[in-house]
Amino acid sequence: MDKILELAWAHTLLAVPPLIITAVLALPLGWAASHYPRVREVLVTVTSLLYVIPSLALFIILPKVLGTSLLSPVNVIIAMTLFGLALQVRSAADAFSTVSGPIRAAATAVGYSAWQRFWKVELPLAGPGLIAGLRVVSASTISLISVGALIGVPSLGTLFTEGFLRNYPEQVAYGLIGCVVLALIFDLLLVLLGWVSMPWQRRV
């Protein structure tokens, strides 16, 4: 049990940074994609292509590009960030697109600057879509991190590789259950984040 908890914590440390980075970077990219059709086309195409790159291949290529060790957690974090952006940029663009032109025009008419309009009007209205997208990214990230165990980065995926090598299916099952539980915890935390940050949605 101690080993499972240790690997679950390692898995968590690999999952949190890319989720935060993805959420932050996807905001301006998604906003730009929702306001400028040509930008949207380029961003959605590029980020979609990122997602088709095999994760194991990316884990091996990144150390050569970044000059890091093959076993460095940085490789996994960057790879997960790229995969996260591949999903979240489209979700963010769709979320900001739900804010209609008349609403933005009304905000401008009452004296909001572009910056104020973003923070006080567009971001709150796009919030539900942004959280929904992050929930998908969270589940994908928890799943893909397990692949890092194949190159020696400790995570719950380590239980998969060790269980396979030792012909110990129970260990594989523990890893699977651990990933599912961790994904559910992350999902609940994101739902809670949406509930706290968007109180007007509680009545919907």
Is the Cα torsion angle 61, 67, 71, 74 positive or negative in sign? negative
pLDDT value, residue 137: 96
The letter for the amino acid at 12 is T
pTM, two decimal places: 0.88
* Tens-place pLDDT, residues 60-112: 888 888 888 888 889 999 999 999 999 999 999 999 988 888 888 888 888 78
Structure tokens of 101?
Answer: 């032109």
pLDDT at position 203 over 70: no
The structural domains of the chain, ordered by start, are 2-199 (1.10.3720.10)
* Tens-place pLDDT, residues 106-134: 888 887 888 888 888 888 889 999 999 99
Q: How confident is the model at residue 184 (pLDDT cuts 50, 70, 90)?
A: very high
What are the backbone dihedrals phi and psi of residue 35, each rounded to the nearest 5 degrees, phi first? -100, -25
pLDDT at position 204 over 80: no
Structure tokens of 32?
Answer: 């730009």
Is the Cα torsion angle 62, 55, 77, 20 positive or negative in sign? positive
* Tens-place pLDDT, residues 141-163: 999 999 888 888 889 989 888 88
